[in-house]
Amino acid sequence: MTTTKATIPVPESVFAVLSEEFGSRLRRAVPLMRHPDDVMSPSVLRGMAASKLSFAQTLVRRMTEGKWRIELVHCELSEDGTGFLAYDIQAEGLQLSFGVFVYPPLPPGHTRMFRDTKLEFLGILLEGPIDVARFRRERDEADTNLWRGRTDPKVYGWTIASRGTRMFDDVVAALVRGEQPTVEQIDANGGYILRNGGFYGNGRMGTRAWRSYARGGGPLAMPYHIDLFCVYLWRLVSLDLVEATARMHSPSATVLRPSVRRHVGIGNSSGLGTVAALVRWPSRLASFILPRELGFAYTAAQTADAASTRRLADLVGNARDAYRNAPEAAPELIEPRESVATALDRVHKALVAADPGEETWARFLEDAEDYGSVEAAEVLRSLLLEVYPETYELSRITEAFTPGPEFALKVDPEMSVGELRAILREQFAWCVDADLESPGKREFFWYRSEENGENRRGERSVDVGIERETVIDVAGAVRRLADFLDAYDAGTSIGRFLLDEPEHTLAVARAQFAATTPYSEIRASVCDADFLASNTIRCFLAILGIELPTPHSGRWVRGLFYRDAPLPADLVAGREGAWGVGAPAAADQPRDEPAMGV
């Protein structure tokens, strides 16, 4: 049951980026917001579900509303399977091009890591029209100086992918025979043909920095849209490449049926680096979670009438079926899928039996928390946003505040030590009173890898490099701050305190920020031996918009992007359609569309 606590402070600047009408209605729902203690705990974070406010979903909505054009205009393949593809992209007045180099397949079972010196696919997202010579120069730079290469700001980023499963060869073989792979076969092999291997931009290797175009409000201004657009492009590459490969083997090869093309997603695996990304920048985390929680509060305040009840029942029923068919993981890593499905089934039955009247959704949501599944309750909240599409406007908060100073960390030197102590008791009770000296409480340290620049985790008693520990040990920093504050009178200013103890500046800034902007701090010590990184990784992937993230271990989480999302022909037509965990199963959709080629 959710804890009842004081109304959550929402920065006034949040409402300034919303329409006046929606902002006024939203203000009245603020008292229904959940307390950060009830949201930012590991058990809730791991149960977070993708929603229409997730980045992949907001990207697809923008592409559809803007009627982006993505066209494959160049495709050449050799008999050994290597080749080159190039796409022309028209996005609301911005012209981009995407060049893809296809390398020989790596041996089956090869573990593909960032440090690999061999690739299967290299993609380059370039500003302007297709420039084959430029794409080849980029490939040569990547091949010669892998992970140390240099480019320039005309390039938005480099990205890699791999085949990942046998599905590529199986789909090609089916098309050569004139047959169609079934969605059941695709789902049984992960739901994808290619797997995303990462996007490397935002200044890395000399690529264009995101802040240089984020403030302009252009088509890729939203955080993570540039990354996820490349993931979307890999999905198109997988579809176009299997058809082109099949035609190379047999001129009479068929093409994928439109419904099958649409059902194919793109695989993804994410690891420990995502944990550091959420912990290191509390302002960014707040700008991700705050819109969701505002949306949940808004929907909770709406009247559960007959139309909204029927719509939610359909969404929940589809989600229940999706969970029953979802891949499993070790029980210590996630709630069993059947447990989530069973709870969603209870929700569905309650909705079907409901007698819509004048009650709001708040009571229904509260009852759902007692159905035996934290994740099911989170899925329900996410699906309810789809019933009220005006909540999609909340994505403006993230777009407006992530690159700007509005959520920036800063110190208020006039605050008193007594006031800061009160903040620590309210916002950091989870770590201020913790015993960090007990065995296992300081098991891990986090560092930035020299090998590839990504964040990694080491064991203090085993691994070298502790002197390079990065500043994401929030529990330790806040606990040390609290201990040092005990030596000062309550009336002492924070400015005076920091003149004596400047090493606590960041901890003070985070604490003061947490008092005015909720959902900025995860309620867990990332250095604790019991900290399960996959919980936080799943949270990050839900924010990005991945479907049904499944831990491969406590350090890696797999999932699927863009299954059943619109394809280029849909984008041009402004037709998004239903997709996501609440959409009908692909096997239940009609299959008699006309064939569509590359």
Q: 429-445: per-residue pLDDT in tens?
A: 999 887 888 888 888 98
Which helix (H) or strand (E) segment is 85 a member of?
A: strand 83-91
Q: Quick one: DSSP state of residue 221? A: -
Q: Quick one: DSSP state of residue 583? A: S
Q: What is the mean pLDDT of residues 218-244?
A: 96
**21-48 b/e (C-beta count within 10 Å ≥ 16 → b):** ebeeebeebbebbbbbbbbbbbebbbbb
% of residues, the chain, pLDDT over 90: 77
Model pLDDT for residues 180-202, shown as the tens digit of each residue = 999 999 998 899 999 999 999 99
Query: For residue 471, what are the contacts with CB-CB under 8 A and spacing of at least 6?
Result: 280, 477, 506
Q: Is the pLDDT of residue 247 over 50?
A: yes
- Cα–Cα distances in Å, from 548 out to 113, 320, 347, 418? 23, 12, 19, 45
Please choose, from the candidates 463, 459, 578, 581, the residue with its C-alpha nearest in 3D space to the C-alpha of residue 529: 459
Which helix (H) or strand (E) segment is 14 a member of?
A: helix 12-16
| SS3 category, 161 | strand
Q: Give dist(CA 334, CA 47) in Å, integer.
A: 8
Indicate the pTM of the whole model.
Answer: 0.94
Counting Cα atoms < 13 Å in the Cβ hemisphere of 252 gives 3
Model pLDDT for residues 248-300, shown as the tens digit of each residue = 999 999 999 999 999 999 999 999 989 998 999 999 999 999 999 999 999 99
CB 179 within 8 A of CB 132: no
What are the phi and psi torsion angles at 113 (to 5°)?
A: -120, 165
Q: What is the pLDDT of residue 461?
A: 82
Q: What is the pLDDT of residue 119?
A: 86
What are the phi and psi torsion angles at 422 (to 5°)?
A: -65, -40
Query: Which ranges of 428-532 does DSSP label H, i.e. alpha helix?
Result: 429-432, 474-485, 494-500, 505-516
3-state secondary structure 297-332: HHHHCCECCHHHHHHHHHHHHHHHHHHHCCCCCCCC
Please choose, from the candidates 40, 398, 454, 37, the residue with its C-alpha nearest in 3D space to the C-alpha of residue 277: 454
Q: Is the pLDDT of residue 324 over 60?
A: yes
Q: Give dist(CA 162, CA 195) in Å, integer.
A: 5
Please report how the helices 337-353 and 361-368 are oriented relative to each other, as an axis angle in degrees rounded to 10.
Answer: 150
Q: What is the pLDDT of residue 442?
A: 86
Report the length, in residues, of the chain.
Answer: 598
Q: Which residue has the tokens 């793109």?
A: 266
**What's the pLDDT band for 341 if we cut at 50, 70, 90?**
very high
**What's the pLDDT band for 595 if we cut at 50, 70, 90?**
very low
CB 449 within 8 A of CB 113: no
In degrees, rounded to 5, the angle at the alpha carbon of residue 161 between the alpha carbons of residues 403 and 221 is: 20
Q: Give dist(CA 28, CA 26) in Å, integer.
A: 5
Q: Give dist(CA 84, CA 528) in Å, integer.
A: 47
**389-410 b/e (C-beta count within 10 Å ≥ 16 → b):** ebbbbbbbbbbbbbbeebbebe
Model pLDDT for residues 37-66, shown as the tens digit of each residue = 999 999 999 999 999 999 999 999 999 999
Model pLDDT for residues 96-136, shown as the tens digit of each residue = 999 999 999 887 655 555 455 678 999 999 999 999 999 99
Phi/psi zone of residue 435: left (φ > 0), alpha (ψ -120 to 50 degrees), beta?
beta
Model pLDDT for residues 460-480, shown as the tens digit of each residue = 888 887 877 887 899 999 999
